[in-house]
Amino acid sequence: MPNSEILLTNFAGLLFALSIPVGDTLAMALWFSNLFSNDIGIDLGTANTLIYVKGQGIVINEPSIVALERHTRKPLAIGAQAKEMLGREKPDIEVVRPLRDGVIADFDVTEEMLRFFISKVQKNKLLVRPRVVICVPSGVTPVEMRAVSEAADRAGAREVFLIKEPMAAAIGVGLPIADAVGSMVVDIGGGTTEIAVIALSGIVTSRSIKTAGDELTEVIVQFLKRKHNLLVGSRSAEQIKCAIGTAIGLEEELQHMCRGLEMVQAIPRVINVHSKEIREALAGSVNAIVNAVRRTLEQTPPELAADILDNGIILTGGGALLRGLDRRLVNETGLPVMVADDPLTCVVRGTGKVLADIHGYRNVLE
């Protein structure tokens, strides 16, 4: 038994000896155990890392970005502070995104980043390392799964439970995942779009493609280079995507002022970009997402497909906020489509619900 658990048992025994009422004893024991350790849920995303602490809610919501000293590889900034430096680095600083396409691309940096976030939420805790529920994409290989588990383990977790991302999203949204009813979730993140049909606590049909938010941003970078001879960084391209990116035609088209470097004369320039040209640039990637949803529906057993006809498709993840994507999916599938409330936090809220009842949710853990 770990030292802290012995301590806890002794503490409860002491209260008993002092004849403190049982209800009060339990409350105090809970307070006392919280002093030692937090169980935490982590959405380790390609774009953003979120942490949910049992009893507190979401306490970390930061970009999955790390600024390193180039020679020593020592982290200088992590999260929002590192994102500020992206595209503005000095020669001795390298800003990296340690996850690519939903999986760990740089193991050491991912571990450092997790250690930093975990220590932030464990700041006032003593002795016991936390139990961690952490997400993996549905198409993950056993090797990639082990890498996530090991990174969490080495970053300070006492016990690691893995859950597939669309399953966590479905739980976060509050879908009836344990019922004999089919639910469809489409989680569009930075690195992957995860499509899953869930019933009886299992993923019945799923598809994971690498077309997601990052690709949409990169398409805009390439488009501005080709069409306007303008070099922009990924942060500016992301701003354009969020401001005027669309998946269907708008009654009133939008415009956005975009700053970049003119390629021919190499001078800074501001141009006005239009939503119509950005929509055309994004069309190929948006079609890939729509086709992946259609193909997943084709492979769904008929009874579950009938449930989805009634209950519709739920969109989660930051990509769900692309203007008009829900209506485009309605047009293409003929099914009801809803964007979840606060789509960027569905996955981590799901891990929070799992933490509250790890035993009850054991069937959905990997």
Contacting positions for Mg ion (CB under 5 A): 45, 189
Nearest to 320 by CA among 199, 195, 198, 208: 195
Q: How many CA atoms lie within 13 A of 361 on its CB side?
A: 24
Residue whose tokens read 């399953």? 167
Count of residues that bind ligand ATP according to CB under 6 A? 25
3-state helix, strand, coil in the chain (%, to 5): 45, 25, 30
**Binding residue (CB under 6 A) for ligand ATP from 238, 246, 273, 281:** 238
Q: How far is CA 250 from the centre of its chain?
A: 29
Q: 3-class SS at 93?
A: strand
Nearer to ligand ATP, 129 or 241 (CB): 241
- Provide the pairing of β-strand 131-136 with 40-44: parallel
**Binding flags for ligand ATP, 285-314, as an x/- string (CB under 6 A):** ------------------------------
Nearer to Mg ion, 262 or 366 (CB): 366
Residue whose tokens read 């949409």? 216
Binding status of residue 130 toward ligand ATP by CB under 6 A: no
Binding status of residue 213 toward ligand ATP by CB under 6 A: yes
Binding status of residue 45 toward ligand ATP by CB under 6 A: yes
Those residues with Cβ within 8 angstroms of residue 357's Cβ, 6 or more apart along the chain or in another chain: none
What does 309 interact with, of ligand ATP, Mg ion, none (CB < 5 to 8 A by kind)? none
Binding status of residue 321 toward ligand ATP by CB under 6 A: yes
Q: Which stretch binds ligand ATP (CB under 6 A): 66-74, 107-115, 121-129, 316-324?
A: 316-324
Sign of CA dihedral 351, 355, 356, 361: positive
Pick out residues in 138-197 that bind ligand ATP (CB under 6 A): 165, 189-192
How many residues can be counted in the chain? 366
**Binding residue (CB under 6 A) for ligand ATP from 39, 40, 41, 48:** 48
Nearer to ligand ATP, 181 or 184 (CB): 184
Which residue type occupies 234?
Answer: S
Query: Which residues of this protein are in contact with ligand ATP, per CB under 6 A?
Result: 43, 45-48, 102, 165, 189-192, 212-214, 217, 238, 241-242, 245, 317-319, 321-322, 344
